[in-house]
Structure 1
Amino acid sequence: MAFSPDFRTMSRPAGTGVGAGVIDQGLRAYMLRVYNWMASGLVLTGLVAYLVANTSLRAAFFAAVMTPNGVAVRPTGLGMLAMIAPLGFVLIMSLGVNRLSRQTVQMLFWAFCAVMGASLSSILLTFTGVSVVRVFFVTAGTFSAMSIWGYVTKTDLTRFGSFLIMGLFGLVIAGLVNMFLHSSMVYMLYSIVGVFIFIGLTAFDTQRIKMTYQQVAYYDGPDGAAKRAVYDALALYLNFINLFQFLLQFMGVRSNQDN
């Protein structure tokens, strides 16, 4: 998921020639900043999810209800708000990419990750802790491999970008349709396609970040580059979270409680 325009066709300003060694050093530092933001966001999300699922906060977000199959956990009004709110944060950040200050973007990123934690806490109520941890490490390994490949590959992945974005929109539509169909076959295909789309987006976004670094440094300056790093971290964060959720549908073991 890209939040920045493609600057690769823009010409370099006169007098801004920089040695390859300087560029490589700056790129490594920038990529490290992006990954640090992403990893910190994941840690915050995990901590909030654990606290909501395992403390008295759980009652504020989820309620036990009786169903024909026994007791089930359903989101309260606050829980529903927590599930919808992340979309609002993403829209605010993406629409304000050229207007929001670096400090505001950073604050919104932390708030987004915290709300995502509350939203994803239902996973800890649905699946066993062991399976959640296992799928997390599988996701981390898959994400790392694809991100590294996206960074080092000589293949231009921009030609696949439009297909990945179209596939992403297709996923949203298929998910909405299956809310009414309740088809297990459609859901299985939906999950399989979702895994491949976010694997592809991980490589695509990593290469995009690498290829646009020089333009970010030249045109945005240090403060702008710091802000852009948060946006790039958000893109990778979303890829990781979505890949994790899709893999969980295949590899997760549901807890005894019917959710």
Structure 2
Amino acid sequence: MALQPDYRYGAAPGWGRASAADAASIDAGLRSYMLRVYNWMASGLLLTAIVAYAIASIPEVAQLFYTVVRTPRGIGVAPTILGWAAVFAPLAFVLVLSFGINRMNKTTAQALFWLFAAAMGASMSNIFVVYTKTSVASTFFATSGMFAAMSLWGYTTKSDLTRMGSIMMMGLFGIIIATLINIWLASPALAFAVSIIGVVVFCGLTAYDTQRIKADYVEYSYAEGTDEAAKRSVMDALGLYLNFVNLFQLMLQFMGVRNQD
């Protein structure tokens, strides 16, 4: 959705003839809606972390998803069939939510979000085996700081980030293609370049998505307590969640310290 270059409440779509009382009402509703989105995102991340840590901490469960291998760089993992299923399960949930959200009620959408977060936890459980817990924690906090800064910028900036969002999406497709190619090339240099570009891309997408969420609310003014507002908050949280998780995984390439035994 295109935004006005000078984005501010008074200039947002549909606000030109709004009274001061209407503006104040929408402003309060926007803050409430954004808080709900961030709460959904944070709750999803918490569930993901709990599931990932629980699987990694129980050897009998962990071995169902992967086997531990030793590489010249340190500890690694080889996914089992169930492990590969866990890797692709989050994508399936994202597709179902994205294409089926209009036919769902809010309870179904919310349940699928929780299942998605749990599946993502299963797919990411190996990070607690591959990387030291200290480096995982430090990377998480660094990612949180970057995410918060970019999201705050996206929320407060008066600049139109639509063009930047389009560029970031093209960069994302480029990253996906380069990653697939590197499965066969196994080039450390290409992997490093992908990680660098990926951090830039997901930082940009975080700012863009935050502004988009804000603009959508201002334009459509989702009524509190409706199914539409509940479903949109889940989908908006999903977008920010994916930005955070991808940024975190890319940051691990720089900050993660591998276990050696």
Q: What TM-score results when the alignment is normalised by the length of structure 2?
A: 0.89
Change (3 A) 1:11 1:211: closer
Give the unaligned 5+ runs of structure 1.
Answer: 1-5
Alpha-carbon contact 1:202-1:239 (below 8 Å) kept: yes
Question: Which of 24, 36, 48 is matched with 1:21 structurally?
Answer: 24
Matched, 1:196 2:200: yes
For residues 206 and 130 of structure 1, the distance between their equivalents in structure 2, rounded to whole angstroms, comes to: 30
For residues 72 and 166 of structure 1, the distance between their equivalents in structure 2, rounded to whole angstroms, comes to: 31
Change (3 A) 1:205 1:68: closer
Matched, 1:96 2:100: yes
Q: Secondary structure at the match of 1:97?
A: helix
Cα RMSD (Å) = 2.5
Give the unaligned 5+ runs of structure 2.
Answer: 5-11
Question: Which of 207, 215, 230 is matched with 1:226 structurally?
Answer: 230
For residues 163 and 99 of structure 2, the distance between their equivalents in structure 1, rounded to whole angstroms, comes to: 25
Change (3 A) 1:206 1:72: closer
1:40 — aligned with what?
43
Q: Percent identity?
A: 54
Q: Which stretch of structure 1 is more off in the superposition, 149-158 or 221-230? A: 221-230
For residues 157 and 249 of structure 1, the distance between their equivalents in structure 2, rounded to whole angstroms, comes to: 28
Shift in Å, 1:97? 2.5
Q: Which stretch of structure 1 is more off in the superposition, 198-207 or 49-58? A: 49-58
Q: Secondary structure at the match of 1:74?
A: strand
Q: Which stretch of structure 1 is more off in the superposition, 176-185 or 60-69? A: 60-69
Counterpart residue identity of residue 108, structure 1: L
- The size of the alignment, in residue pairs, is 251
For residues 154 and 227 of structure 1, the distance between their equivalents in structure 2, rounded to whole angstroms, comes to: 27
For residues 106 and 237 of structure 1, the distance between their equivalents in structure 2, rounded to whole angstroms, comes to: 14
For residues 69 and 163 of structure 1, the distance between their equivalents in structure 2, rounded to whole angstroms, comes to: 34
Show the 5 A alignment for 1:97-116.
Answer: 97-116=101-120
Change (3 A) 1:211 1:252: same
2:137 — aligned with what?
133
Q: Cα deviation per residue 1:129-157 (whole Å; 9 max; x = unaligned)?
A: 00000000000000001100100000000
